[in-house]
Amino acid sequence: MDLFGPIPVRSLGRNKYTLVVVDEFTRFTWVVFLNKKSHAAQEIISLIRKNETLTGLKVKQLRSDHGTEFRNSTLEEFCDHKGIGQNFSAPRTPQQNGVAEQRNRTLIEAGRTLMIHAGLPMSFWAEAVNTACFTQNRSLIHRIHKKTPYEMLKDRKPDVSFFHVFGCICYILNQRDPRSKFEPKADKCIFVGYSSISKAFRVFHVNRQCIEESIHVKFDEESCTDEKVIHSSSIFQELLSCPFDKVPLAGDEADISDSIVPAPCSLNEDSAARSSNNSSGADEILEAEDSPATDNLSVSNSPESASISEHRYHPID
């Protein structure tokens, strides 16, 4: 077992640390999110009792580093009472606790990838790590036994037919608020994982700003994109206003330049004078295109510049 943190941004549950526990034989992994390191001992004791009741097997040994969250009087008294041995790695030698350390790295990288792909803010890191742990327990194949950790622990093959894309737009049936017959029955949410205590999906309700669990969910997985989406300070308002694939990138001048259309040529009564000035006009257009996009936004009182500012730009959809 190992613990990583603190994370600079608190999760939606106001947690900063993650306790990672790995079964040495099956490689099944449990993650527990903590607000303080001192809560690790009680969470370990609770996890041991639950798994001994669930599997009928007894824990023989705990392996960890010399952190105070693992080496304390509370955990030592429990291990002495249950007859569990404690094995610590040498100081400043994390490779002796390599199973838990590698699992930490795998979960962190998987969670980071999920958040980047979905374009979610940093406060969703706990949901991403929890989803990564849930899916890896049912998808990774043990190199020796040729089985998933879930199959080795539960003695049955896992069902992965209910897996969906993390961070996609989904719609849940609103059974809380009274609705008339012609009002919409579904609310727009963001899919953030799977429930560990019930057969349900975890979604972030955009209007209520909270995590909800529901089985009545319809997924729109095509709303996700592989491109990185940078949201402003109010991400939830942007998710309501437009889909992921149409959110403009903040601070990206390339998108602004793509939205520029050529200005219509102004009519001139003297066609001969206009044809004689074609070369000089073309040079001026080239110089205008070479200038930064911010220079084109300067306000002028002349009628020509007013027509350009009126026709040259259109809002980004």
Please, are residues 107 and 113 in contact by the beta-carbon 8 Å criterion? no
Angle at 105 between CA 78 and CA 145, to 5 degrees: 75
Q: Which of 154, 186, 219 is the last residue of a domain?
A: 154
Q: How confident is the model at residue 263 (pLDDT cuts 50, 70, 90)?
A: very low
Dihedral (CA of 94, 97, 99, 105) sign: negative
Exposure b/e, 285-306, CB count within 10 A at least 16 = b: eeeeeeeeeeebeeeeeeeeee
Whether residue 38 is found in the same domain as residue 140: yes
Is there a domain that residue 189 lies in? yes
Of the CA atoms within 13 Å of residue 45, those in its CB half-sphere come to 17
**In which residue are the tokens 């110089």 written?**
287
What is the side-by-side strand order in the sheet with 186-194? 210-214, 201-205, 186-194, 169-173, 217-220
Q: Which of 246, 263, 289 is the last residue of a domain?
A: 246
Residue 267: which H helix or E strand, with range? none
Does residue 230 register a pLDDT over 50?
Answer: no
pTM of the model: 0.69
Which CATH number goes with the domain that contains 56?
A: 3.30.420.10
Name the DSSP class of 36: S
Q: How confident is the model at residue 208 (pLDDT cuts 50, 70, 90)?
A: confident
Please, are residues 44 and 21 in contact by the beta-carbon 8 Å criterion? yes
Does residue 50 register a pLDDT over 70?
Answer: yes
Q: Which of 207, 222, 246 is the last residue of a domain?
A: 246
Of the CA atoms within 13 Å of residue 95, those in its CB half-sphere come to 0
| Residue-number span of the structural domain to which 89 is assigned | 2-154
What total number of domains does the chain contain? 3
Name the DSSP class of 197: S
Dist CA 208 CA 190 (whole Å): 12
Is there a domain that residue 17 lies in? yes
**What type of residue is 6?**
P
Q: How confident is the model at residue 270 (pLDDT cuts 50, 70, 90)?
A: very low
> What is the model's pLDDT at position 224?
59
